[in-house]
Amino acid sequence: MAIAATDTAAAGHPALNGLTVLERGWLSSNNLLVHAQGDEAGAWLIDSGHLAHAPQTVALVQHALRGQPLERVLITHLHTDHCGGNAALQERFGAPIVIPPGQADAVRAWDLTRLGHDDFGQRERFTIAGTIGAGERWRAGGSDWEALPAPGHDPHSLMFLDAANGVLVSADALWANGFGLVFPELVGEAGFGDVAATLDAIERLPVRVVIPGHGAPFTDVAGALQRARSRLAAYVADPPRHARHALKVLLKYHLMEVRTQPLAELLQWAEVAPLVGRLWAGFGRHDSESPRAWSEAMIAELGAGGAVKLRDGVVVDA
């Protein structure tokens, strides 16, 4: 579903003039269309949503373009919910796709293991025209944009700043309520320090409106930073808490994609999902005897919190 900016403070904010925020459900990242101004060749699209929503993304972009050509598709990071529409957009519009440099070689070789897509179902191959790295600048929508590093959630992720208008495209580094899973920490690498450094970097930027990877654009940057930092502090104090949250997110995310699944099948999926196995080995083995048992406990917690429903042995996304 596409909704224009709905946050009351951000909706209609003058900084968002010339931009169309396609706010999506949580399975797909938001898409931002930066409309061409003056003699610019065409619009830029930032992030392309989930593969399961690719036809919808193409239709939404087509409508939002209002006849302008699509000049470029720019991706903040290569998680499946941010780049799943790439192949469909490429086929429909022929627009060159540009990504952060960190995983360009993996995309060129289409190495799904290195891309981390084995776990998450991005299977439509796309090609890239080039990369945009941290510190690079370009002009789009009549504004100067700069790519900034945003490690933490994903070591290769970038965020994009239009400093003159105070617009930050934060991807999954900062949401109105928190930030994306800290994936390096889930596989035994450091990541919490990077999250803190990225939040500090955001605080120093001239930001009036944040367009996050998920959820409505928001203007209360200080409040969002405070909420993110308190969540981070809780994870740093208790990393297994982050791991349990991660498993719940992975299960919920899988359910968003399949909508409904018999519990036995869902547990079978969890049992063989590589990241679930690594998570259990790193954080869950003291609490439960297997990835399957740990997943079952987390599904029960998701059910208790209302995020999923369990009916007659079938789990339903709620």
By beta-carbon proximity to Zn ion, the closer residue of 64 and 173 is 173
By beta-carbon proximity to Zn ion, the closer residue of 30 and 219 is 30
Burial class of residue 266, CB neighbours in 10 A (0-12, 13-18, 19+): buried
By beta-carbon proximity to Zn ion, the closer residue of 35 and 214 is 214
CB 78 to Zn ion: min, Å: 9
CB 172 to Zn ion: min, Å: 4
DSSP string, 205-239: S--SEEEESSS--BS-HHHHHHHHHHHHHHHHH-H
Contact residues: Zn ion, CB under 5 A: 79, 172, 180
Within 8 A by CB and 6+ apart from 133, the residues are 100, 101, 147, 158
By beta-carbon proximity to Zn ion, the closer residue of 43 and 279 is 279
What are the CA-CA distances from residue 185 to residues 144, 152, 155, 314 (Å)? 34, 9, 11, 31
> CA angle at residue 293 from 291 to 299, to 5 degrees?
100
CB 214 to Zn ion: min, Å: 9
By beta-carbon proximity to Zn ion, the closer residue of 89 and 173 is 173
By beta-carbon proximity to Zn ion, the closer residue of 49 and 141 is 49
CB 224 to Zn ion: min, Å: 17
Torsions phi, psi of 187, nearest 5? Answer: -120, 25
CB 165 to Zn ion: min, Å: 25
CB 309 to Zn ion: min, Å: 26
Within 8 A by CB and 6+ apart from 197, the residues are 151, 152
Within 8 A by CB and 6+ apart from 17, the residues are none
